[in-house]
């Protein structure tokens, strides 16, 4: 069947397509039209527009004569299992390392760790893992389209766009009186990449296409189809590397399609659709047949069937949440809006950025696939920065901060699955390196379940990576109230706790139980009388906060599930023996057991404020003294930093209920930047395509920024729903719908002059929800009837599926 021949569409199919169009149009009336727009082709990759369906993706640059489209597959990982990472000699040095720490000789302990207490083999080959067993996330390849035009007249009316509502990108321009149009999407329904090329005059579509990859690729043509296949390095130059296959086919209306060498060429067509199907054998051992089946399935559909099935599938997730902070400007180019945002405070641009984060999550993650890595789904290199892996000292976790509150709960599954998959390796690491029970993961991991300490003690010593992941496992329960799920992950939580219960030691000054050795990511301090940078320590504040949170969550889970065992008994005994959070003499929160002098007071990590966010151990409501110490700590750290660091600070200030300061940090996060070199000491901000700059690009800042905006609008960590807890003065009027809260409900709100006027609740579980009465309100009414207030809160018992519309009343 010709994918383009709509003139032959059966009458029944026209009805189906009409229904799809009406559905999509109706959904667009619910939410604002959200468009990213540019008036020139992308000059660099950081200006291209990301498309994806959670498994595969592409980034077209919109070039006029030659278009470059980078292709991606989230399972394009080199490397393989590395049993040499379990260093059997490391444990022999653990007693000496601990003794040195107990006697205050941290630098000597650190030097010993560099030499002996680290992963074996080649390690992570940090930032150069593509040819090592550790591996690297890699681009799939490059698609180049060389266009041929009747004449070479100048181009006018150029624009390229990305619709966040539909997940469809376009390029359009006029040349020699002919309007050329391109549409691109990564189908959420049919799992292929689709590019449609048209013109408003017949026989005007002519081009050549080829596929390439910098290494490990064979490209060939067979039966007018273009193929690229290869095998990535397993780290041993063996035959166990990931294999991939990509197939490209052109379905044309009119014109002449021929092949020449490794190129497909189409001349004088009315229009054409390029279909790309691709897969690897990481998660699909039948990937070759899968590629063919996906292509056949896509070809059996008309183009509009493909497009609107894709849109409908995508919008099912995207349309769950809306945020209106003012009228959207869909005319001004997005890169100009980004620049202007530093001076004009356009609230609608913040709403666009918020939804862009949700867009990246939906397009970068899929329930049955790998988690989003440092680059999400999108990369333009074979060797991605820092291997494009999973950093467990904030970066991977930040990727998933917006998932629950932004109504994408099912997309937590890849992170949950990864955490569960780390347990066997983590048990071996715990036993091999520490002689401990349970399981542990350190600072970084990959699809091959790497859990050992890294080769550099400055970052590799962090041993709470797995425990931090457990926080996400608990949060998924907190939002969904799924008891069956909680029962399934309970052993993962208790296994993580068993490691600390069996490995912590007593520090000599107070007799507290602490981790040793460890570090406070990735900050260093000076020992008294020394100017040598030291990272290795005992019981840094973040470790204590993560462990206490893990223990507390387990006790809550045990109560819900009716379980009491040896682990819970040990936890109850151990919690009082953990170090308390300490406030230094100058009023900030201490990062270490001692009030050491920091090497870099403005360090990008603010690890000791984990208890403020994402945890809930520091609160202006329940722990005002600690909240004030956190405030002083943030002021001391400053508002600069890498992209993701600025995003984290948005969340910190939102948790401190300071909306204007959170907004200031949001503007800092959205500071325009350029350049893709590694610059951790400066240069954070946002690229023209709104990708976050570490720099270079790291996607965690995008998700951290989206989560931060959500925290400004709604919080539920203190056992009640707090609406607009950190509303900036600039966001005077607005509304949102579909944000989620712990306990299992969706919430919507409308406000005017900074005051909530209406709100909606929809229960996803049978539960009683406590709603904090907004400041200055005198009543909350349901159908004109005033609801009872208890100490400033309104308890609302609801059944699953029940919806309530409430009015907030203020003095006349």
Average pLDDT, the chain: 94
Summarised one tens digit per residue, pLDDT across range 362-394 is 999 999 999 999 999 999 999 999 999 999 999
**Structure tokens that stand for 574 in this block:** 């151990």
**Model confidence at 25: pLDDT above 60:** no
- Contact 761/798 with Cβ under 8 angstroms? yes
Cβ(243)–Cβ(142) under 8 Å?
no
d(CA 394, CA 401): 10
Residue 13 has pLDDT above 70, yes or no: no
pLDDT band (50, 70, 90) for residue 674: confident
Identify the pLDDT of residue 383.
93
The pLDDT value recorded for residue 458 is 81
Does residue 19 carry a pLDDT above 90? no
Query: What is the per-residue pLDDT across 546-598, written as a single tens digit (0 to 9) for each?
Result: 999 999 999 999 999 999 999 999 999 999 999 999 999 999 999 999 999 99
Burial of 77 by CB count in 10 Å (0-12 exposed, 13-18 middle, 19+ buried)? buried
What pLDDT, on a 0 to 100 scale, did the predictor assign at position 124?
75
pLDDT of 2 > 90? The answer is: no
* 119-123: average pLDDT: 87
d(CA 587, CA 278): 56
pLDDT 10s digits, 584-593: 999 999 999 9
pLDDT at 450 over 60: yes
CB contact set of 290 (below 8 Å; sequence gap of 6+): 277, 279, 284
Closest CA to 702 of 363, 319, 325, 321: 363
| For residues 794-809, average pLDDT | 96
Nearest CA to 167 among 312, 64, 2, 304? Answer: 312
Residue 106 has pLDDT above 50, yes or no: yes
pLDDT value at residue 24:
44
Rounded average pLDDT over 758-786:
95
Helix (H) or strand (E) holding 468: helix 465-480
Which pLDDT score, from 0 to 100, does residue 214 have?
96
pLDDT tops 90 at residue 780 = yes
At residue 459 the predicted structure's pLDDT band, cuts being 50, 70 and 90, is confident
Q: How far apart are CA 141 and CA 212, in angstroms?
A: 6
Distance, CA of 697 to CA of 137 (rounded, Å): 14
Report the 10 Å Cβ neighbour count for 484: 6
Q: Give the containing element (helix H, strand E) for 536.
A: none
Q: Which residues pair with 211 in a beta bridge?
A: 143
Residue 588 pLDDT: 96
pLDDT digits (tens, 9 = 90+) for 686-732: 999 999 998 899 999 999 999 999 999 999 999 999 999 999 999 99
| pLDDT at 12 exceeding the cut of 50 | no
Q: Is 267 exposed, middle or buried (0-12, 13-18, 19+ CB in 10 A)?
A: middle
Q: Give the whole-angstrom CA distance, residue 541 versus residue 523.
A: 12
Residue 237 belongs to what H/E stretch?
none
Output the pLDDT for position 646. Answer: 96
Share of the chain above pLDDT 70, in %: 95
- What is the per-residue pLDDT across 209-266, written as a single tens digit (0 to 9) for each? 999 999 999 999 999 999 999 999 999 999 999 999 999 999 999 999 999 889 999 9
Query: pLDDT value at position 130?
Result: 87
Mean pLDDT score, 72-100: 96
Q: How high is the pLDDT of residue 154?
A: 87
Distance (Å, whole) CA 504 – CA 588: 26
Burial (CB count <10 Å: 0-12, 13-18, 19+), residue 634: buried
> How sure is the predictor about 20, in pLDDT bands with cuts at 50, 70 and 90?
very low
Per-residue pLDDT of 473-490, as tens digits, reads 999 999 999 999 999 999
pLDDT of residue 3: 60
Q: Which of 3-17, 55-69, 104-118, 683-697 shows the lowest mean pLDDT across its residues?
A: 3-17
Sign of the Cα pseudo-torsion (466, 471, 475, 481, in order): positive
CA terminus-to-terminus distance, the chain:
67
* pLDDT at 128 > cutoff 90: no
pLDDT at 197 over 60: yes
> Is 90 exceeded by the pLDDT of residue 122?
no
SS (H, E, C) 280-336: ECCCCCCHHHHHHHHHHHHHCCCHHHHHHHHHHHHHHHHCCCEEECCCCCCCCCHHH
Q: What is the mean pLDDT of residues 769-788?
A: 93
pLDDT digits (tens, 9 = 90+) for 514-539: 999 999 999 999 999 999 999 999 99
């Amino acid at each position: 069947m010709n994918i383009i021949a709509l003139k032959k569409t059966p009458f029944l199919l026209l009805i189906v397509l009409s229904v799809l169009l009406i559905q999509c149009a109706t959904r667009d009336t619910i939410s604002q039209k959200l468009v990213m727009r540019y008036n020139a082709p992308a000059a660099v990759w950081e200006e291209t527009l990301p498309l994806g369906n959670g498994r595969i993706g592409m980034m077209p640059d919109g070039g006029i004569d030659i278009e470059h489209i980078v292709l991606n597959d989230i399972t394009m990982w080199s490397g393989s299992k590395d049993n040499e990472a379990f260093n059997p000699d490391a444990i022999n040095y653990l007693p000496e390392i601990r003794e040195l720490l107990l006697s205050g000789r941290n630098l000597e302990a650190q030097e010993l760790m560099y030499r002996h207490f680290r992963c074996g083999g080649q390690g992570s080959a940090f930032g150069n893992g593509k040819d090592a067993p550790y591996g690297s996330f890699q681009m799939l390849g490059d698609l180049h389209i060389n266009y041929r035009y009747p004449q070479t007249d100048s181009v006018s009316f150029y624009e390229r766009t990305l619709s966040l509502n539909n997940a469809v990108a376009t390029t359009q321009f006029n040349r020699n009186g002919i309007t050329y149009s391109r549409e691109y999407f990564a189908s959420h329904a049919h799992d292929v990449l689709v590019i449609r090329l048209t013109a408003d005059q017949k026989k005007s579509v002519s081009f050549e296409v080829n596929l390439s990859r910098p290494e490990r690729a064979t490209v060939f043509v067979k039966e007018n189809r273009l193929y690229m296949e290869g095998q990535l390095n397993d780290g041993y130059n063996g035959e166990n590397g990931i294999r991939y296959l990509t197939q490209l086919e052109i379905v044309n209306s009119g014109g002449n399609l021929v092949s020449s060498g490794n190129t497909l060429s189409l001349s004088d067509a009315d229009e054409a659709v390029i279909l790309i199907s691709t897969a690897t054998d990481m998660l699909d051992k039948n990937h070759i047949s899968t590629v063919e089946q996906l292509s056949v399935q896509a070809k059996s559909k008309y183009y509009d069937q493909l497009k609107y099935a894709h849109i409908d599938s995508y919008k099912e997730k995207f349309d769950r949440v809306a945020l209106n902070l003012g009228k959207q400007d869909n005319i001004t180019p997005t890169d100009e809006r980004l620049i202007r945002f530093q001076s004009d405070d356009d609230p609608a641009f913040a709403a666009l950025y918020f939804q862009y984060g949700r867009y990246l999550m939906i397009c970068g993650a899929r329930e049955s696939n790998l988690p989003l890595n440092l680059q999400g789904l999108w990369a333009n290199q074979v060797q991605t920065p820092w291997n494009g892996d999973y950093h467990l000292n904030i970066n991977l976790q930040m990727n998933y901060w917006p998932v629950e509150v932004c109504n994408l709960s099912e997309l937590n599954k890849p992170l949950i699955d990864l955490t569960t998959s780390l347990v066997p390796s983590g048990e071996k690491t715990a036993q091999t390196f520490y002689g401990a029970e349970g399981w542990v993961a350190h600072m970084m991991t990959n699809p091959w379940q790497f859990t050992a300490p890294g080769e550099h003690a400055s970052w590799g010593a962090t041993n709470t990576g797995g425990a931090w992941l457990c926080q996400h496992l608990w949060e998924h329960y907190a939002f969904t109230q799924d008891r069956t799920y909680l029962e399934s992950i309970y052993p993962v939580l208790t296994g993580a706790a068993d490691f600390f219960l069996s490995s912590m030691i007593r520090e000599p000054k107070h007799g507290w139980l602490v981790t040793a050795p460890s570090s406070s990511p990735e900050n260093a301090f000076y020992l008294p009388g020394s100017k040598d940078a030291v990272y290795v320590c005992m019981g840094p504040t973040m470790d204590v906060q993560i462990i206490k949170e893990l223990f507390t969550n387990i006790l809550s889970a045990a109560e819900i599930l009716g379980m009491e065992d040896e682990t819970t008994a040990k936890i109850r005994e151990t919690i009082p023996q953990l170090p308390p959070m300490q406030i230094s003499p100058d009023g900030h929160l201490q990062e270490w057991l001692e009030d050491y002098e920091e090497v870099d007071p403005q360090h990008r990590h603010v690890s000791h404020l984990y208890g403020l966010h994402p945890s809930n151990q520091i609160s202006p409501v329940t722990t005002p003294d600690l909240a004030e110490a956190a405030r002083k700590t943030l002021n001391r750290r400053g508002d600069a930093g890498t992209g993701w660091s600025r995003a984290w600070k948005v969340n910190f200030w939102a948790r401190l209920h300071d909306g204007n300061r959170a907004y200031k940090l949001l503007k800092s996060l959205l500071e325009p930047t350029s350049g893709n070199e590694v610059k951790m000491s400066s240069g954070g901000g946002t690229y023209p395509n709104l990708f976050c700059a570490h720099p270079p690009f790291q996607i965690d800042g995008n998700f951290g920024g989206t989560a931060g905006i959500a925290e400004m609008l709604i919080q539920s960590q203190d056992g009640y729903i707090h609406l607009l807890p950190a509303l900036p003065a600039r966001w005077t009027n607005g509304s949102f719908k579909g944000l989620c809260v712990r306990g299992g409900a969706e919430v919507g709100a409308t406000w005017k002059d900074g005051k909530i006027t209406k709100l909606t609740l929809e229960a996803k579980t049978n539960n009683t929800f406590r709603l904090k009465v907004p400041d200055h309100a005198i009543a909350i009414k349901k159908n004109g009837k005033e609801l009872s207030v208890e100490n400033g809160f309104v308890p609302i018992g609801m059944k699953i599926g029940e919806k309530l519309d409430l009015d907030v009343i203020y003095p006349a």
